[in-house]
Structure 1
Amino acid sequence: MMRMEPFSQLLIAAARQHLRMRKKKCLSPSASLNLAGEIFAVAAGLKPAFLYDYTPAGISQIVSYIQELQNISQLGGRLHILSIAENVFLINLETMQLWLEMVLQKNTVFFVDVAASKTCPGFCEPEDVDFIKGHLVEILCHVKAQATDTSQILSSSPAISTECNLCTLFGVLLGFPAAYSFPAQKSFENCLSLVPLRVFTIQATFCKISNDFRVRFYSFSVPESLYPVMKTDLSMWCENLQNAFKTQKYFADLSISTEVVTQVAVTL
């Protein structure tokens, strides 16, 4: 069993104080520490955003919780809470701006069409990519507008309405080098059933907690049939992450692993 250090106890207490729901159990110690780890990863610029899905906490609760983390340990980066279609993201304004600019200008994300009507996954058509990028431009403008207000180290903004497939949009915002696309207005089904997928898992030791406690930063997949075309760019993405990892102090022992899996059904 992991020995609880004072810093760990402060993180657990912060989650229990600010994120507890009425008549609901509070987060377990391990979930509390993992949540803190993901937030520290965003603050350190290791990922542009984190999607909060631990409890049905409201934005005001999440704001007070992150403010408590800032009091416990000075978080780096300008943080912002952004809500999209009732989903809450914590974003690093600087990292997100740079990431979206790269996606729009240098095509650093592969958009993979997995519509149920297709016999196998393939790359999106140019017009579909342009449609997705149009919504990303709107979000980039919103992020830039929030970044101009330097009076707060933590800010929040109301929901952005978007007609873009949220699965695709969220994949980009979370910093994945590949995002799945399908006509969500017609169906949420896809053509990934029994398709070999190469799954990438990126994690590291949260050394401010313990030399044994690891936090997963990223988990995403790409169709194995498309991997040869994507391999060089995915390797560059991993290299950029490794370089960013060298500039932070919260985590150690970065691990990037892959495995090929096949599932009867894939939920996106």
Structure 2
Amino acid sequence: ATNVLLVAAAQQTLGMGKRKSHPRAICFHLAGEVLAVAWGLKPAVLYDCNSAGVLELQNYLGQLQGLGFLALGLHILEIGENSLIVNLKHVCEHLEQVLLGTIAVVDISSKHPHPSVCSLDRLQDLKALVTELIMHLHGLQRDLSVGVSHSRLHSTDWNLCTLFGILLGYPVSYTFHMNQGNDNCLALIPLRVFTARISSLLCQHQILLPLVSIRLVPKPYSKCLGEGSQNPI
């Protein structure tokens, strides 16, 4: 059965012994994430289930390909100590759309009294980074006959919060000035979480494909903040 195959693929390749194997729910969730990427529903997924490395992820994706769930074209992109599974074709198309200004970037730097939407043209460092990513990923599309390819990028000066928001396909990405630490102007403001999902009937087994989950300032708070309030609510 499909559910047995998906669970076994994750537990055999990503587990670290029987006691530490992934629970069934995590296996299904991971399969849904990977399928969403493979089918072009989202550009990438960040693997954060455990400390499995590139080799383990390649073995996992290779098993899914061998079982007929995935086509060629998936790639493991290492950025710092993080591993993202991307669909090379779709992630390049997505990043090219980002350069055209299709997503909102919200500056939440602590120096601001409230969050503010800004265009990518005002964030030249981020725009240059997205351009660099496109060039890197385009070069990897020349040979998609390789099972699951892999590449690594160094991220010494990158704002990974913003970068991952863009790579994962969030319609809104937060950014902030790195030289101001981790503080931001959203402190103590409750955020509302919006999640989009679709379900797929795969071989008579329903799998939830999580598309995106983002946290936004609720309307009453955003209205107050827009009027210049500097006090946490």
Instruction: Give TM-score, length-normalised by structure 1.
Output: 0.76
CA distance in 2, matches of 1:24, 1:188: 36
TM-superposition CA deviations, 1:227-250 (whole Å, max 9, x none): 89xxxxxxxxxxxxxxxxxxxxxx
Which residue of 184, 198, 204 maps to 1:204? 198
Aligned to 2:14: 19
Residues matched between the structures, number: 224
Compute the displacement of 1:207 (Å): 1.7
CA RMSD in angstroms, aligned pairs only: 2.6
Compute the displacement of 1:23 (Å): 8.4
CA distance in 2, matches of 1:121, 1:23: 46
1:152 is paired with a residue of what secondary structure?
A: coil
Which residue of 134, 150, 156 maps to 1:140? 134
Q: How does 1:182-197 map to 2 (within 5 A)?
A: 182-195=176-189, 197=191
Instruction: Give TM-score, length-normalised by structure 2.
Output: 0.86
Alignment check: 8 A CA contact 1:114 1:180 kept: yes
1:21 is aligned with what amino acid?
M
Which stretch of the first structure deviates more once superposed, 180-189 or 88-97?
180-189
Aligned to 1:36: 31
Aligned to 2:149: 155
State yes or no: 1:102 paired with 2:110. no
TM-superposition CA deviations, 1:153-187 (whole Å, max 9, x none): 42111234352210000000001111101123431
Q: How does 1:72-111 map to 2 (within 5 A)?
A: 72-76=67-71, 78-104=73-99, 106-111=100-105
State yes or no: 1:177 paired with 2:206. no
TM-superposition CA deviations, 1:20-54 (whole Å, max 9, x none): 12586111001001101100000000000000001
1:123 is paired with a residue of what secondary structure?
A: strand
Compute the displacement of 1:211 (Å): 6.0
CA distance in 2, matches of 1:100, 1:14: 31
1:119 is paired with a residue of what secondary structure?
A: coil
State yes or no: 1:165 paired with 2:155. no
Compute the displacement of 1:19 (Å): 0.5
1:46 is aligned with what amino acid?
L
In percent, how many aligned pairs have the same letter? 37
Aligned to 1:61: 56
Which stretch of the first structure deviates more once superposed, 13-22 or 32-41?
13-22
Gap regions ≥5 residues in structure 1: 1-5, 229-263
